[in-house]
Structure 1
Amino acid sequence: MGVSGCGKSTIAKLLSDEMNIPYFDGDDFHPEQNVAKMTNGQPLNDEDRQGWLEALNRLAKNQLKTNSCIIVCSALKETYRNTLSNTIENQVKWIHLTGDFDLISERLNNRQGHFMTSQLLQSQFDTLETPRNAIQVDISSSPQDIVKHIKNDLMKTSEFGLFGLGVMGKSLCRNLANNGFKISMYNRHVDGVEVDVAKDFKTEYPELKDAEAYDDISAFVNSLQQPRRIMLMVNAGKTIDYVIEDLLPHLSKNDVLIDGGNSNYKKTKERYEYLKSKQIHFIGTGVSGGEKGALIGPSIMPSGDKAAYNLVKPYLETIAAKDANGLPCCAYVGPEGSGQFIKMVHNGIEYVEMQLLAEVTTILEAQGLNPDEVAETLDSWKSIASSYLLDITTTIFKTKEGDDWLVKKILDKAGNKGTGNWTTIASAELGLPSTLIASALFSRYISFFKDERVELNSIFKSSKVSELNLSANDILEAYQFARIINHYQGFKLINEASKAYHWDLNLSEIARIWTSGCIIKSALMQELVAVFKTTSNLLTGSKISTHLKQYKPSIKQVVSQALQNDLSTPALSEALQFFNGITTAYASANVIQAQRDFFGAHTYKRLDDNSDKSYHTNWEQSN
């Protein structure tokens, strides 16, 4: 844009060749009456221009359906520019060519065969309203330098946006920047509470020097290349919906929103469908690794539309952790909310792994070991049972505050953020016995009743207990047994959900992206990558079944002695009980089915009848 004679067409043609996108001269779209009027030396009024501006707006919209374009137009007034960019404001970048009157007048006088004369130039300068938020370019430079300047300014737009600068959001920003991506960062502005969060964060870390920092949502969105890629790192629940509604007025067709929080997979599906109706892509993405993992490489579980994933694939796979073969621990897992379902189950498995470590350390302490000795024992297990959670638990038991161990000073009330609850509900809805996840969740709930526990302990705690007689290897094998059952239940839940929801999930690939970067990474997980290439049931794998047979005597010893000594080991106990149940050929359910038939006439099937016939007995008359 700019007054006539400033070189708009020349620069547009050069820029079009440089960027390989088409350009259109707005003057070519004037109706005949406008051309005649200007040829006679009469300036156009706003009524003359309205239809012409609307035609150029339609041209821009049509071009944006398939590509982009450059349109040359004087666009001297703000009202003209508003008409030109009507409904596509977020897809328009204004470039204002500026120069002094004498230079432009000279150029006009040297131009042959054009209806705009130098006599009309002053009216253009009088009409000009300088645009805000435009690239301003002085036309005294050479056309080549002007094009270079414009291109450099256009390329300042960011490749990727991060919305929400909590702990995980900040770490992901630094990860993206460390990998060379130009990013824009946004955090809301709340007077007196959250002020200049993004700007202050940028100044704190040198790797963010080229990042753009915003607390204005419109400026943040407009700073991004299209289609825009925006990752939402905000609290799950209603907050996500509020954020989506705040963003929508600023978004354009084919923009991509990535929800990287622990959202419920059902809500993710709803948001996916809602945004699809708005022509916006939505990718529900599990992210595991905590603050450190997000910084150096997390495990990432994206889902949604495959084509949309390809738009963000280079960014997510670059910042992800790498597996033993150097491949990213990030892969498109499936449609709809499958990514966040998988992350939910990941967290359920995590709940159990944490609970099991809490239980084995309780047993070790009950045998008289102090925290340093507990840490030493755990450390000795690493060659056999290596995992991230084992590593951090070892460190926890080594850590002192003053002369005492810090872990002994921590209040014994465990919190939760809801994913264990969701996993338990999902298991029940699908009719699956994820008993260890439920046990670990309910153990956290029990822990919260601290006052009641103290009161009941004084009433019921028995002083008559037998002596624990367990080796460190007994406890290790019991721990390993329970971990296998935990992973069996978790992957069983994923596999059955895949069937029920038609997700076609790849268990081996899920295990692979969990081998690094995430909280449940372990040597066992690495083993499962190969196991799930041949079966969806890890208990049927010959190597795993051999482990279980080896470890079962130990877990029987550990659980029975823990019970004899009034030690609470719900996850270890449930692992054994579940295994006994799942390996029982003829279970006690025959009694339950008879009871159901007795009081509710629910019928039953018979072992001596292979048909699908149902039987009912009048039990009272039969006696």
Structure 2
Amino acid sequence: MAVYIVMGVSGSGKTTIGKLLAKELNLTFYDADDFHPPENVEKMKNGNPLQDEDRKGWLAVLAENIQKWNKSDGAVLACSALKEKYRKQLTSIPKENLRWIFLWADFKVILERLESRKGHYFKPEMLTSQFEILEEPNYGLRINVNTSEENILKRIMVNLNASEAEIGLIGLGVMGKSLALNLLSKNIEISVFNRHVSGKEEDVAKDFVQENADKYTFKGFDDLKEFVSSLKRPRKILLMVNAGAAVDAVVESLLPFLEKGDIITDGGNSHFKDTLRREQALKEQGIHFMGCGISGGEEGALKGPSIMPGGSSEAYKQVGLILEKIAAKDKNGNPCCTHIGPDGAGHFVKMLHNGIEYGEMQLIAEIYHFLRFHTNIDPEAIADLFEAWNEQMKSYLLEISVDILRKRESKGFLLDKILDAAKQKGTGGWSTNAALELGVPLDTITAAVLARNISGMKELRVEVSNLYNPINNQNGNLDEIKDELFRAYKTASLINHATGYDLLRVASSEFSWNLNLSEISRVWTNGCIIRSGLMEDLVNIFKDSNNHLLLNKNIIFEIKENQASLTKTVGVSLQAGYAVPVLSAAANYLLNFTSAQNAANMIQAQRDYFGAHTYERTDKPRGEFFHTQWKNNN
């Protein structure tokens, strides 16, 4: 049998709730106050708080009785047990047979309750001393008593009847809620937490639990300590909060309730350097921190996303099985989730996923724009063309673009009513910054990021357009350009992926991550935004070699077949007055990358001229540097 100890400061309702609980469980109720010797009672009646010496004998008697109750039918005991050392003395039976229930509320709430009581020897002015010595437990049930007795008992029974949760999720935004439902659908026991902000975020977790009560049984909290106490050890906590300061704030607030071996997993789009910093700081405290990229949007989070966790192997062994259960499945039925690598590797890979995504989205957008206005065809016709292309490409982004193009509102197309000012969350720009730091050319992704920046200058663009009166040729013939446009699109997409994977390759070496590009590609074959037929091919390509993608013989053949179409399309587009930044960047990258001789010799000469930066010579071994006095003084 079990012994239930209902604890808390005076006025928290230990006796009342204890009696109700005993009746509900069909157990005998005991009040610890009844076991005080007369001298203790007299002292408290006179308004003098008890000292540790006063409590020694009292606690010993209680411990003996707890042993007796445990051997018989069990019991419910109401006892303040404010200090951890008192609770340790009361733990005279196996821990699994002793259930702690901590009743709490703010000082003001408890004081009001005490002032309304009559005929009790405890004086309200003694409450301050109780709060001062209270050491809140980080185990057992934590129940806020600022509600009705009926609700308090109901919450206790729900928690007692439910087993400890396998994982906890913090942050019930769109992605957080979808992931929670995904976990529940896989029969994974969870607890959820959302902060309480008066007037903004009130009862979010409770309401979410209630909304899904017909289908699932799980626990929701707006008290962090209660939330952590509901989790199995080692605690596994998934953060779904905004990147940046919010992650640091949540981690800081969690630390007082965590123990060595507990695991925090950040599932947001955090910068990989922040993840590295957090992982190192928490490692010193014996707590694991994992940076986990999650791609797939709201639908993917609900039905199965692509998941990219990074962190220690030890932490992945604890969390990986859960993440793999909720991940999308590849064509062979394996989860689109893998241990990416140590420290910030997971978030770096997710960042680069988003960078490639930026490039692919801009590529489709500029081809749509060129077709819409140069050939003057409606979105439905472009949707038909994209749908035909996608029979070969099998691209999720091309697929959703077809749906977007066909969406009507009233008598027109919804797309025509959407403002041409694109937003971004920063991951594309982070990819560009990382490429600059690592010395990797990232032409297409950078062009896509900058195109979004220009799009955001809507008012200025309108003003400048009126000043320049640009001429846009609208006499294009779809039948004449569509085949070459498709070849240009395929080629630019290949180059966009090649530059992204090159950044992964260099980062892997720089940070000693030992990234498996084939496995990363496999994880990206389903659930994520950039899934495509090309991604399926990359799984096999990178099994053979981690070299630059444009060195693969099959890719070389395809690029050679279609390079002329790419450069011609760029020329036609620009001459017709339409910006194609990613198509142009792809063409320029390819020309630069495949040129045995380019313009950099002039740059080196210029640098040496004005700054004596030196240069290497073609007729001398690499690594020898020279300087010239360039100005002829004669």
- TM-score band, normalised by the shorter chain? 0.7 to 0.9
Q: CA separation in 1, counterparts of 2:95 and 2:441?
A: 55
Query: 2:536 matched to 1:526?
Result: yes
* 1:81 Cα deviation after fit: 6.1
Query: 2:217 matched to 1:217?
Result: no
The verdict on how the C-alpha distance between 1:193 and 1:593 changes in structure 2, with shifts beyond 3 A counting, is same
Which structure 1 residue ranges, 5 or more long, are not aligned? 4-44, 58-71, 98-130, 136-149
Residue among 583, 590, 594 paired with 1:583: 594
Q: CA separation in 1, counterparts of 2:610 and 2:281?
A: 47
Deviations 1:196-225 (A, max 9, x none): 111211222357531111111111111111
Query: 2:105 matched to 1:95?
Result: no
Alpha carbons 2:472, 2:578 under 8 Å: kept: no
Query: 2:200 matched to 1:193?
Result: yes
Alpha carbons 2:81, 2:87 under 8 Å: kept: no
Residue among 453, 456, 461 paired with 1:453: 461
State the partner residue of 1:35. none
The verdict on how the C-alpha distance between 1:467 and 1:204 changes in structure 2, with shifts beyond 3 A counting, is same
Alpha carbons 2:376, 2:474 under 8 Å: kept: no
Deviations 1:29-73 (A, max 9, x none): xxxxxxxxxxxxxxxx9539759999xx9xxxxxxxxxxxxxx99
* 1:451 Cα deviation after fit: 1.2
Query: 2:291 matched to 1:284?
Result: yes
State the partner residue of 1:239. 246
Alpha carbons 1:333, 1:505 under 8 Å: kept: yes
Residue among 603, 606, 613 paired with 2:624: 613
Corresponding residue SS for 2:364: helix
Corresponding residue SS for 1:533: helix
Which runs of at least 4 in structure 1 moved beyond 6 Å after TM superposition? 51-54, 72-76, 91-94, 131-135
Query: 2:344 matched to 1:337?
Result: yes
Alpha carbons 1:174, 1:207 under 8 Å: kept: no
Residue among 475, 499, 506 paired with 2:516: 506
Letter in 2 for 1:360: I
Q: CA separation in 2, counterparts of 1:471 and 1:434?
A: 28
Query: 2:383 matched to 1:372?
Result: no
Corresponding residue SS for 1:621: coil
Q: CA separation in 2, counterparts of 1:85 and 1:574?
A: 68
Alpha carbons 1:253, 1:280 under 8 Å: kept: yes
Question: Which sits farther off after the overlay, 453-462 or 486-495?
Answer: 453-462
Deviations 1:547-568 (A, max 9, x none): 1112112112210100111101
State the partner residue of 1:540. 551
State the partner residue of 2:566. 555
* 1:463 Cα deviation after fit: 3.4
The verdict on how the C-alpha distance between 1:379 and 1:229 changes in structure 2, with shifts beyond 3 A counting, is same
The verdict on how the C-alpha distance between 1:249 and 1:611 changes in structure 2, with shifts beyond 3 A counting, is closer
* 1:369 Cα deviation after fit: 1.2
Which structure 2 residue ranges, 5 or more long, are not aligned? 5-50, 64-73, 101-135, 142-156
Q: CA separation in 2, counterparts of 1:439 and 1:428?
A: 14
* 1:383 Cα deviation after fit: 1.4
* 1:459 Cα deviation after fit: 2.0
Query: 2:608 matched to 1:597?
Result: yes
Query: 2:88 matched to 1:82?
Result: no
Task: Compute the RMSD of aligned alpha carbons.
Answer: 3.2
Residue among 383, 395, 408 paired with 1:400: 408
State the partner residue of 2:53. 47
State the partner residue of 2:418. 410
Q: CA separation in 2, counterparts of 1:168 and 1:474?
A: 40
Letter in 2 for 1:368: N
Alpha carbons 1:467, 1:565 under 8 Å: kept: no
Letter in 1 for 2:611: G
Deviations 1:509-550 (A, max 9, x none): 101100000000000011001111122211111111111112
Q: CA separation in 1, counterparts of 2:472 and 2:99?
A: 88
Query: 2:359 matched to 1:359?
Result: no
Q: CA separation in 1, counterparts of 2:464 and 2:339?
A: 50
Query: 2:447 matched to 1:444?
Result: no
Deviations 1:457-482 (A, max 9, x none): 12223437485354322111111100
The 5-angstrom pairing of residues 50-129 of structure 1 reads 77-79=79-81, 82-83=84-85, 95=98
* 1:619 Cα deviation after fit: 0.9
* 1:278 Cα deviation after fit: 1.6
Alpha carbons 1:511, 1:528 under 8 Å: kept: yes
Alpha carbons 1:178, 1:207 under 8 Å: kept: no
Q: CA separation in 1, counterparts of 2:474 and 2:403?
A: 31
* 1:226 Cα deviation after fit: 0.6
Q: CA separation in 2, counterparts of 1:189 and 1:431?
A: 45
Q: CA separation in 1, counterparts of 2:350 and 2:570?
A: 30
State the partner residue of 2:178. 171
The verdict on how the C-alpha distance between 1:322 and 1:96 changes in structure 2, with shifts beyond 3 A counting, is closer
Deviations 1:137-181 (A, max 9, x none): xxxxxxxxxxxxx9x948611111110000000000000000001
* 1:621 Cα deviation after fit: 3.2
The verdict on how the C-alpha distance between 1:204 and 1:73 changes in structure 2, with shifts beyond 3 A counting, is closer
Query: 2:392 matched to 1:384?
Result: yes
Alpha carbons 1:177, 1:208 under 8 Å: kept: no
Q: CA separation in 1, counterparts of 2:476 and 2:560?
A: 23
Alpha carbons 2:140, 2:229 under 8 Å: kept: no
Alpha carbons 1:177, 1:207 under 8 Å: kept: no
Corresponding residue SS for 1:532: helix
Corresponding residue SS for 2:543: coil
Letter in 1 for 2:367: V
The verdict on how the C-alpha distance between 1:375 and 1:304 changes in structure 2, with shifts beyond 3 A counting, is same
Deviations 1:567-587 (A, max 9, x none): 010100110011000000011
Q: CA separation in 1, counterparts of 2:474 and 2:407?
A: 31
* 1:385 Cα deviation after fit: 1.3
The verdict on how the C-alpha distance between 1:269 and 1:379 changes in structure 2, with shifts beyond 3 A counting, is same
Q: CA separation in 2, counterparts of 1:51 and 1:388?
A: 72
Name the TM-score, length of structure 1 as normaliser.
0.78
The verdict on how the C-alpha distance between 1:304 and 1:208 changes in structure 2, with shifts beyond 3 A counting, is farther
The verdict on how the C-alpha distance between 1:538 and 1:50 changes in structure 2, with shifts beyond 3 A counting, is farther
Q: CA separation in 2, counterparts of 1:410 and 1:462?
A: 22
Letter in 1 for 2:358: Y
The verdict on how the C-alpha distance between 1:228 and 1:208 changes in structure 2, with shifts beyond 3 A counting, is farther
Q: CA separation in 2, counterparts of 1:602 and 1:493?
A: 27
The 5-angstrom pairing of residues 128-277 of structure 1 reads 153=160, 156-206=163-213, 209-277=216-284
Say how many residue pairs are matched. Answer: 521
Alpha carbons 1:53, 1:83 under 8 Å: kept: no
Name the TM-score, length of structure 2 as normaliser.
0.77
State the partner residue of 2:496. 486
The verdict on how the C-alpha distance between 1:289 and 1:346 changes in structure 2, with shifts beyond 3 A counting, is same
Query: 2:431 matched to 1:423?
Result: yes
